[in-house]
Amino acid sequence: MHIISKAPFEECARKYPNDALALHSLYRVIKGNGFFYARRNANGVSQPRQF
């Protein structure tokens, strides 16, 4: 299970204001339904999983 906290994104957005929009957008994508990662099965074939 992956737990993603918003606090580091907020901290970086304050530290790097030029990148704040990108950081907030990244957090929104990761926390939304669009975050996939590939997991290889026993045959070596990638299978996408959604969180």
The pLDDT score that the predictor gives to residue 38 is: 53
51: confidence class by pLDDT, cuts 50, 70, 90: very low
Q: According to the model, what pLDDT value does residue 19 have?
A: 93
Q: In terms of C-beta density within 10 A (0-12 exposed, 13-18 middle, 19 or more buried), how is residue 32 classed?
A: exposed
User: Could you tell me if 30 and 22 are in contact, meaning their C-beta atoms sit under 8 angstroms apart?
Assistant: no
The 8-class DSSP code of residue 5 comes to -
pLDDT of residue 40: 58
Give per-residue pLDDT as tens, 10-40: 999 999 999 999 999 888 888 875 555 555 5
